[in-house]
């Protein structure tokens, strides 16, 4: 139903120019202090969008976010100490 989305971290020289990146995808976050933008795009067009973003003169570097690849299911083999005190 929903398309698979992926994030791009775009390092910029000027934060004021980030409005131009709204044409490429959904701007999720803009860091004014560290000068980067988190942009969400469809996963199947991520490479094309990264190349298009690199053509802007205010873009320094484009990185792919690895958030989708991080394991978020945890299991703990350590026994629960709260049960010992009951």
What is the percent of the chain with per-residue pLDDT over 90, rounded to a whole number? 72
Give the Cα separation of 14 and 19 in Å (integer).
11
Q: In the chain, what are the domain boundaries?
A: 5-68
Q: What is the pLDDT of residue 86?
A: 65
Question: Is 38 a residue whose pLDDT tops 90?
Answer: yes
At residue 67, the pLDDT reads 86
- Strand intervals (E) in 1-86: 5-12, 26-31, 36-42, 59-64
Architecture of domain 5-68: 2-Layer Sandwich (3.30)
């Amino acid at each position: 139903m929903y398309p698979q989305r992926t994030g791009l971290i775009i390092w910029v020289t000027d934060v004021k120019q980030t409005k131009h990146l709204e044409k490429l995808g959904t701007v999720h976050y803009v860091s004014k202090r560290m000068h980067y933008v988190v942009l969400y795009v469809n996963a199947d067009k991520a490479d094309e969008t990264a190349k298009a973003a690199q053509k802007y003169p205010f873009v320094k570097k484009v990185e792919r976010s690895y958030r989708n690849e991080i394991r978020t299911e945890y299991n703990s083999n350590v026994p629960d100490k709260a049960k010992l005190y009951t």
